Structure 1
Amino acid sequence: MMMKKFMNFMEQKFVPIAAKIGAQRHLVAIRDSFMVMMPLMILGALAVMINNLPIPFFQNFMNQIFHGEAWKGFGGGIWNATFAILSVCISFLVAYHLANSYGKDGLSAGIVSLASFFALGALNTPDNIAGMSSQGLFVALIVGIVSAEIFTRLSGNKHLVIKMPDGVPPAVAKAFAALLPSMITISLFALVYAIFAGFNMPNIIGSFYEWIQKPFMGLANSYGSALILALITPLLWFFGLHGGNMVEPLMQTLNAPAIEENIRAIQAGQIAPNIVNKPFFDVFVNIGGTGATIGLIIAIFLVGRKSKSMMTVTKLSAAPGVFNINEPLMFGLPIVLNPILFIPFILTPLVLVTTSYWATKFGLVPAATVMPPWVTPPVIGGVLATASWQGGVLAAVNLIISILMYIPFVKLAVREQQKEEGKSINQEA
């Protein structure tokens, strides 16, 4: 009875609000922008992992071959092409996707955002590059959104559009149409920079990082915030909403600076400070997909064989599940709106966050510094993310925990299914 009331309340009050948030154009633009950057971020993290692989034999062997550490220039070059320009790319992509969602010229909006980002002082940092890396990520997101909003609105003003004669090539006409909106938008950001500089604060991005971004990252790095993130995603999924896509903008905004800060700490011979990041969830919590459903698949193979329908769906879902794709299980079993599987689906990630966070906090497992592809199979992902065998052991322990948590509920689901089948047979008779 309580479960029924809870589900009715969530369906009436929570789901409509969550659906609106998930479709909010600014969040969608941020999510899509990070999806475009994902291959570069994975490549950059892997290159840095190779450069700093904690295997003395490997390091000595490479140093002997290259007569020093010149071989690390390969990984350094890749880092310069990925994480070092992350904010620059994001400022362009967010504006591009946002303008497209309004039906405006996304390419022009992206270029204007890029210029606005530099007008705001992206290069005016002590080393001239910090603003372009993940340190400038929050500012890049703000610039991308604000510049796109200004540009798209100015572009819709007929008094600001310079119309060219009919014989002019379309590309030239398009450029002149965007000329005045572009000039105004970029000038506004340059004016903001001049005002801050007038108050003796020329390094806007560095100041923003120290005052806002860094404290926010520290807050998000807590055990409590990890529990909240682990709760929200499966809760949304349970009601049929793609929780991963909805939480992704926040996760990626926190993830890139956290990973880069971890990398810098390890390079300096220090302990990585950020436990909570995207690979932390990918390899230790969401093993097999949201809700640690690889544990559910194995639990069904162990104790759910009496249910032909569950076994059929599980057999079809097993191969994708190994690569952390669990949509077939979500809608085929189903897990969505399944009151019996609701409890382990919600609780298992919370338990796995607890084991993973404190195992890392107490130094039993290194913090994640590498972002493996999200389709990396369980246990292997733990090894890659932490560049250690301890990460693989923790992932294996979490896998066992997830199986044990799902087993009693699979038994209960099979029993209830058999009761329903028995009722149907009696009614037919």
Structure 2
Amino acid sequence: MKFYSKLQDWLEGPFSQKMQKFMQNPYMHALQVCFTIILPMIMVGSLASLFNTFRNFVSWLPDLSLINSFSFGLISIFMAFLIPYTIMESKKLQKQKMITGFASVSALIALANPQYVDGNLVVNAGYVGTSGMTVAMVVGLLVGWLFSTYFKHGLFKKDSSLPTVVVVWFESILIIFVLILACIFIGQAVDLFSLMEVVFRPLANIGNTYLGFLLLYMIMALCYCCGLSAWTIWPIVCALYLTNIAANAAAVAAGQSPVYIATDELVFMGWCCLGGLGCTLPLNILMIRSKSKKISTIGKAAIASSIFNINEPVMYGLPVVLNPVMMLGYMAVSFIVPTITYIVFKLGLVSIPAVAMMMNFLPQPISTFMVNSDFRGIILWAVLFVLTYFIYLPFFKAYEKQELENEQEA
């Protein structure tokens, strides 16, 4: 208890003060505001995904995947607009904020290198959805910085007799023209959206070692809690996991024991994603029991999704994303849980999954038992759940104290 008390004091004191100062700069503030505003769109997509989970068991239910496609599936466009818009707002450039957001969206789509096919503009859906989040964030921040710097100086003198709206029009034309033209050339020359896959490809070579297993998980977790798409490196992770589960199934068919730990079944359906990436189901329980009305309300609204391993409402609603205090707890869990899981399976204390399933939205520990039919796995799941609860506890209490103080002031 002394350790928890000291950790909580440090989180509430020096760490929180320094981080709050850092998060107040216009660019970090813009990211926080962006994810707060788009939360309803994320939750709508999560609800659609949750509903579609039941279609695996009741085939006559309607397919609501398009709702997810037109809400969460357009998140990169929302980000590209909101980030520079908020930066301009923070820098008191109210008259230029709207056109800056429009220019950023145009830049994002130009970088996606859309093609005209039979008179139709065709854009990769992933590039305007979750797969484009990283590029959208970078574009939004760069456009926000570029336009705020440009408009701060301007082409016209401050005492110009021209109407303000006319000044904004003429000042905007040049920079928007140059921005879109540059993005068109870049988009045709380089696929920035696939570049991340190339950057992370060497990780697949070490993916079956403890270091690789942990690193792949922690990189996804770090991306997620920083507001980036955790699925940026999914093509690499998926290729590794599918190869491994196929090899495990072949080994069992040949009368041998499965050996590959890094599989989708073990990580996402079994033991490393209790309620979603970063094991946020125990955190959701803490939220429901919170003394803060805001946190408790969000926790109650998010619990149904968490049970089906959809944790966007927790990540963006609490939030964990870009929340310095909760990010520390999230990354601690993302280190400890995969480490314990890997050791337990490496020692043969629980059977390694050898059946391809990939039904990540099934509630745990039901899916946990389904992947290997080993009751020892349920015990491991319960131990990890309790452990995760207590890892999150001091970080959550520190953040809860901040929210209670804000509620009292309000």
Give the counterpart letter for 1:129 in structure 2.
Answer: N
Question: Structure 1 residue 186 and structure 2 residue 181: aligned?
Answer: no
Cα distance in 2, alignment partners of residues 139 and 99 from structure 1: 19
**Correspondence 1:157 to 2:153:** yes
TM-score by length of 2: 0.54
Q: Give runs of aligned pairs for residues 109-128 of structure 1, distance below 5 A.
A: 109-124=100-115, 128=123
- In structure 1, C-alpha distance between the alignment counterparts of 2:74 and 2:42, rounded to whole Å: 10
Q: Deviation per CA, 1:56-105, whole angstroms, max 9, x where unpaired?
A: x512x44xxxxxxxx43x42x21331244221111001111222222223
Given that 2:204 and 2:237 are in contact with CA atoms closer than 8 Å, whether structure 1 keeps it comes out as: no
Following TM superposition, by how much is the alpha carbon of 1:19 offset from its aligned partner in structure 2, in angstroms? 4.1
Q: How big is the alpha-carbon RMSD for the aligned residues of Structure 1 and Structure 2?
A: 5.9
Deviation by residue 1:265-321 (Cα, 9 ceiling, x = unmatched): 9xxxx98599579x936557334438x8589x8xxxxxxxxxxxxxxx99x999779
Aligned residues, how many?
320
SS at match of 1:58: coil
Q: For residue 229 of structure 2, what is the aligned residue in structure 1?
A: 254
Q: Distance in 1 between matches of 2:159 and 2:295?
A: 59
Indicate yes or no: 2:135 matched with 1:139.
yes
Mapped pair 1:97 → 2:86: yes
Q: After TM superposition, list the pairs within 5 Å mapping 1:203-352 onto structure 2.
A: 204-212=191-199, 222-224=213-215, 226=217, 250-255=225-230, 257=232, 275=267, 280=273, 283=276, 285-289=279-283, 293=286, 323=300, 351-352=336-337
Q: 2:124 aligns with which of 129, 132, 136?
A: 129
For 2:46 and 2:357, locate their aligned partners in 1 and report how far apart those are by CA, in whole Å: 15
- The amino acid of 1:280's aligned partner reads C
CA contact (8 A) 1:151 1:181 kept: no
- Please give the alpha-carbon distance, in whole angstroms, between the structure 2 residues aligned to 1:139 and 1:286: 26
Report deviation, 1:144: 0.7
TM alignment of 1:161-180, pairs within 5 A: 173-174=164-165, 176-180=166-170
Shift of 1:248: 8.4
Cα 1:52–1:396 change in 2 (3 A) is same
Q: Deviations over 1:322-346 (max 9, x none)?
A: 74899xxxxxxxxxx9xxxxxx999
**CA positional deviation for 1:347:** 7.4
Distance 1:249 1:99, change over 3 A: farther
TM-fit CA distance, 1:113: 1.2
Structure 1 residues 104, 350: CA separation in 2 closer, same or farther (over 3 Å shift)? Answer: same
Preserved contact between residue 88 and residue 148 of structure 2 (Cα < 8 Å):
yes
Contact 1:259 1:368 in 2 (8 A): no
Task: Using CA pairs under 8 Å that are at least 6 residues apart, name the structure with larger relative contact order, 1 or 2.
Answer: 2
Letter in 2 for 1:192: A
Distance 1:113 1:34 in 2: 17
Identity rate, percent = 13
Deviation at 1:26, TM superposition (A): 2.0
CA distance in 1, matches of 2:7, 2:287: 25
Alpha-carbon distance in 1 for matches of 2:128, 2:141: 17
CA change 1:39–1:110 in 2 (3 A) is same
Deviation at 1:50, TM superposition (A): 3.9
Structure 2: segments with no counterpart, 5+ residues: 241-245, 247-262, 304-313, 315-324, 394-410
**How far has the Cα of 1:257 moved from its partner?**
4.9
Structure 1 pair 108–24 and aligned structure 2 pair: CA distance change class (3 A): same
In structure 2, the partner of 1:23 is: 24
2:33 maps to 1:32? yes
